[in-house]
Amino acid sequence: MPTPVLYCRDALKPRSVDAHFAPEAREVRARGGTVGLIDHDTLLRGDAQQAVALVPAGLGNVWYRGWMIPGDRYAALAAALSRRGTELLVSPEQYRTAHELPGWYATFAEITPASVWRPTEPGEVLTADDLTALTEPLPPGAGIVKDYVKSRKHEWEQACFIPDLARAGELTRVVQRFVELQEESLTGGVVVRAFETFPKLESVAAEVRVWWLDGEPGLLTPHPDSPFGRGLVPDLDHIGPAVRRLGCRFVTTDVALRSDGVWRVVEVGDGQVSDLHRSADLSAFAALLIDPPAAGAAHSR
């Protein structure tokens, strides 16, 4: 029986799927899947019970597909759904493990850029001494700053890239600007990562998003920010074991070919809140959700 999928509802059309996810939901329905709706805005405001009011009772095991949800709100969503006889296939513990860098980093440490982090509240100012101490374990050279979930790479020079971690003034300026721009959306704390060089190829996407279900690669797509519709096919032999050790149901890994020819994991995420590239095969993705393939039967874009 097809697995139901819960999508965020459209704020202006409460009985419809959010426009960003509507094409995907249509493919789920076309394959005989059931689509339910949750109110993402109401969930973020703290009323999980009202947020699931449109979810039919007794749906059984379901996927969530929609906008990112803070870990505590996801746990509230899971509890509210459970009271209606519906269970998220990704537990709150699994969601947080895959969604937030401190949850997955140790498992991927050998195949991802070196990283350090410090729990902080939105708006909290870290001093130069704080940041020098935090970044001391990182290798010399450049770095990037992000929070537990997201960076501000579209503001690369002012709030993401740190040309030299040893320059305390430079480090402090970029991190403080990042925190300032994140405002209340800063998740978990400040993360600083060593910078690695990944060449941008002209004819193919240099970064690939791999969608893993129960430890097996089910779909390959370009990274959502890639301007290209076709991407490289990565070597997953050294990445699969780490995904399986992580022990999460639905995981994405963003992988890129480093300048020395080694495939590296740039980011890990929970598949429920990972975005698709505009060129992705929505039919194949819908099939992955509602009718998972046998182990090892991965699909390309």
* The predicted structure's pLDDT at residue 233: 84
Could you tell me if residue 278 is inside a domain? yes
Residue that terminates a domain, selected from 168, 194, 220: 194
SS3 call for 89: coil
Could you tell me if residue 149 is inside a domain? yes
pLDDT band at 56 (very low <50, low <70, confident <90, very high): very high
- Assess whether 227 and 249 both reside in one domain: yes
Q: Are 164 and 141 in contact (CB under 8 A)?
A: yes
Burial class of residue 244 (count of CB atoms within 10 Å of its CB; 0-12, 13-18, 19+)? middle
**Looking at residue 218, which CATH number applies to its domain?**
3.30.470
- Assess whether 154 and 227 both reside in one domain: no
Question: Hunting for tokens 């374990």 — which residue is that?
Answer: 137
Averaged pLDDT, 261-272: 95
Residue that terminates a domain, selected from 194, 220, 249: 194
pLDDT in tens, 67-88: 999 999 999 999 999 999 999 9
Range of the domain at 166: 114-194
Indicate whether 300 pLDDT > 90: no
3-state DSSP helix/strand/coil percent for the chain, to nearest 5? Answer: 35, 25, 45
Could you tell me if residue 75 is inside a domain? yes
Could you tell me if residue 301 is inside a domain? no
* The predicted structure's pLDDT at residue 231: 65
Could you tell me if residue 97 is inside a domain? no
Q: Are strands 250-257 and 207-213 parallel, antiparallel or unpaired?
A: antiparallel
Number of domains in the chain: 3
Q: Which two tokens stand for residue 179?
A: 């925190």
CA 64 to chain centre: 13
Indicate whether 295 pLDDT > 60: no
CA 145 to chain centre: 16
Q: Which residues contact 37 (CB under 8 A, 6 or more apart)?
A: 6, 7, 8, 9, 14, 15, 16, 17, 54, 55
- Assess whether 81 and 125 both reside in one domain: no
pLDDT in tens, 188-229: 999 999 999 887 655 455 789 999 999 999 999 988 887 765
Q: How many CA atoms are closer than 13 Å to the CA of 74, on its beta-carbon side?
A: 25
Indicate whether 135 pLDDT > 80: yes
Q: Which of 38-47, 62-71, 158-167, 254-263 has the least mean pLDDT?
A: 254-263
Which is more confident, 203 or 278?
A: 278
